[in-house]
Amino acid sequence: MGTLTLSIIILLTVVAKPAIAQEAFKYENFKKPKYCGAACHNDFYVQWQQSMMSKAYTHHWDEIEYFELAVPHAEKDEKVAEVKEGCNGCHAPISFIVGDVPPPRPEMNSRANESVSCEVCHSITGYEGEVPFNFNYTVNPGKTKYSSRKSEVDSPAHEIQVSKLHKSGDFCGICHNEKSPYGVWVKSTHLEWKEGPYSAEGVQCQDCHMPKTAARTASMGAIYPDARMHIFNGAHDNGKIRGTVEIRLYPDIDEAEPGEEVLLTATLFNQKTGHKFPTGSVEDRIVWLHVEAIDANGKVYHLPVEKKGFEGEEYTIASDVLAYQDMGIAKEIPDFQGVQRDAIPVGNRIFRMPYFDPQGRMTIQQWNTASLGVDYRFAPRETKTETFKFALPDDIAIGELKFAAKLNYQKLVSSVAKYLNVPAEESEIVLVNEQVTSIEIID
Ligand code: HEC
Ligand code: HEC
Ligand code: HEC
Ligand code: HEC
């Protein structure tokens, strides 16, 4: 082997190597969450237990995607081989740091099940490079905990080092930005926030996901007026999703006769998210607008959205086509036909961003993403307008004609969930918002 080839290989190995020197730490260096929660941080412990942070490794869909898609795919395709370890850098960070990868399955009840634990976040001292992404944390587990303030009462269990990073959204970006092996930003919640209005106004991720309230941060400590709740509520909390976008509907006329055409406009305002909506696992998530007209006899007409004509729009209008063929790699079905791309009523507007595999097919495998399509999601505080035309049938009932709009959200496209046997709750349809208006149909 020539020196050049050898040094390229070494270089590649170095690049692929994570920021942490693996095996420098052992599981014993990290306390269990129960240790932190049992006597002192009782409240934070129970809050954390309810959040996805404590389930990042054990959650059903994570287990299925990692063990049934990512690991087999990584073993077959050199290009994505790194994800076999890499997924754990964010989902089971301690196992990743100590080099226990792939970790045992969740049912084995190993320490990987601790997921993103107290010790993970409170051992983080910083991140390498300019941009936080792909678990580029630096950690220093031990007697010193890194956090945003020093308490008035000295902790009997540890020392506290005040860390500015913990007060900043940049801290969250370490795991909430992800680049695929193809160099594509497949998760960019932090970058979306950074370029949006909230970060400019100094509103951090913590302000919406770790809200401040009067509470004790430790059982023996004082009550702080601004203690940081460890709730981390997001897509798995229907209450967090609800009301994210407001809808107003207005028809162009208030009276019409059968045979006439009504133009209906929907304005949708993202009042709630500090990043785009949907964000995070965007490859899985869809938000869609379903509009119906209901006449005085109760007859329902589904109204398809009017096309706008932008590039890539076909991915934003529900249709009866197949996608996600690259699941066939892990499943060893070379000519896999795919499953329904959208699996919702045809003609509905979908707010999403499609991910494409190296062959240009839509994928839900973010590690196999070589390019991104049109970004038709809601930016923070953005208002989108959609229009619908309804040519009133000659036999439409005289009287009140209602228009009803529903904005729905789904964490995982239902066809994919069915194909992979992901429990139904992951593809539950969550109502974001709804609105009703009406006109009079006259003779
Ligand atoms: C060490 C990595 C790591 C850090 C640091 C981190 N997160 Fe997370 N976070 C995760 C992982 C992994 C999940 C996914 C859990 C799952 O599997 O669904 C998650 C889930 C979440 C969720 C729930 C999403 C849902 O689907 O309901 C929210 C909200 C969240 N994080 C907010 C934050 C905020 C705010 C910060 C910064 C204060 C932060 N995270 C820092 C790794 C991290
Ligand atoms: C995803 C990362 C993450 C996890 C997991 C996490 N924390 Fe925190 N914690 C933070 C951040 C960030 C802050 C500081 C927030 C701020 O002040 O803006 C914090 C603050 C704290 C504080 C100080 C609160 C205050 O208001 O002064 C305590 C105590 C604490 N965490 C304990 C825990 C315990 C115990 C657990 C496990 C049950 C835990 N943390 C899990 C990120 C995390
Ligand atoms: C102004 C409030 C606000 C700010 C600031 C904010 N978020 Fe959110 N976040 C929300 C709301 C509302 C949702 C629920 C709707 C959704 O899923 O986007 C959400 C959802 C999420 C989710 C779930 C996404 C998914 O599909 O799994 C994650 C993860 C998350 N936020 C992380 C962050 C991080 C990291 C930051 C900072 C970089 C941040 N958020 C800043 C309001 C906020
Ligand atoms: C850079 C950190 C990071 C890496 C690397 C990473 N993830 Fe995640 N993953 C997250 C975060 C953060 C979330 C949750 C919040 C969101 O959707 O924004 C998440 C969410 C998920 C979800 C969706 C959970 C749900 O219930 O909707 C699955 C499944 C998942 N990851 C699997 C994987 C697999 C498999 C890999 C490796 C190929 C991987 N992740 C690599 C950070 C990461």
Q: What is the mean pLDDT of residues 259-284?
A: 98
Three-class secondary structure of residue 153 per DSSP = coil
Instruction: From the CA of 234, give the closest atom in ligand 1.
Output: 27
Show Cβ contacts of residue 408 under 8 Å, excluding neighbours closer than 6 positions. 287, 288, 289, 290, 344, 429, 430, 431, 432
Q: What does the block give as tokens for 13?
A: 């190995």
Instruction: State the pLDDT confidence band at 6, using cuts at 50, 70 and 90.
Output: very low
Yes or no: say if 69 and 102 are a contact pair by the CB < 8 Å rule: no
Residue 8 has pLDDT above 80, yes or no: no
Which pLDDT value is given to residue 374? 98
| 3-class SS of residue 1 | coil
Ligand 1 contacts CB of residue 56 (under 6 A): yes
Tell how far the Cα of 142 is from the centroid of ligand 1, in angstroms.
23
Pocket test for ligand 2, best of 44, 55, 155, 212 (most atoms within 8 A of CB): 44
Q: Is 406 in the pocket of ligand 2 (CB under 6 A)?
A: no
Complete domains list, the chain, with CATH: 17-228 (no CATH), 238-441 (2.60.40.3880)
Query: What's the pLDDT tens digit per position in 378-436?
Result: 999 999 999 999 999 999 999 999 999 999 999 999 999 999 999 999 999 999 999 99
- pLDDT digit string, tens, across residues 135-152: 999 999 999 999 998 877
Q: Retrieve residue 385's tokens.
A: 């307008």
Say yes or no: CB of residue 116 within 6 Å of ligand 1. Answer: yes
Cα–Cα distance between 173 and 165 in angstroms, integer?
11
Contact 275, 380 (CB under 8 A): yes
Does the Cβ of 206 fall within 6 Å of ligand 2?
Answer: yes
Q: In a mutational test of the pocket of ligand 4, which residue from 53, 80, 90, 105 has the highest number of ligand atoms less than 8 Å from its CB?
A: 90
Ligand nearest to the CA of 56: 1
Reported as a single tens digit per residue, the pLDDT across 17-67 is 445 555 589 999 999 999 999 889 999 999 999 999 999 999 999 999 999
**pLDDT band with cut points at 50, 70 and 90 for residue 292:** very high
Least distant ligand from the CA of 137: 1
Digit-coded pLDDT (tens) for 231-257: 999 999 999 999 999 999 999 999 999
Question: Rounded to the nearest whole angstrom, what is the distance from the C-alpha of residue 281 to the centroid of ligand 3?
Answer: 11
Question: What is the SS3 string spanning 249-305?
Answer: EEECCCEECCCCEEEEEEEEEECCCCCCECCCCCCCCEEEEEEEEECCCCCEEEECC
362 contacts 341 by C-beta, under 8 angstroms: yes
Quote the pTM value. Answer: 0.95
Quick check: CB of 90 below 6 Å from ligand 1? yes
Between the CA of 171 and the centroid of ligand 1 the distance, in Å, is 11
Alpha helices in 341-397 (DSSP H): none
Quick one: which atom of ligand 4 is closest to the CA of 174?
1
CB 347 within 8 A of CB 317: yes
pLDDT computed for residue 20 by the predictor: 56
User: What are 334-352's pLDDT values in tens digits?
Assistant: 999 999 999 999 999 999 9
Does any ligand 1 atom lie closer than 6 A to the CB of residue 353? no
The pLDDT value recorded for residue 23 is 54
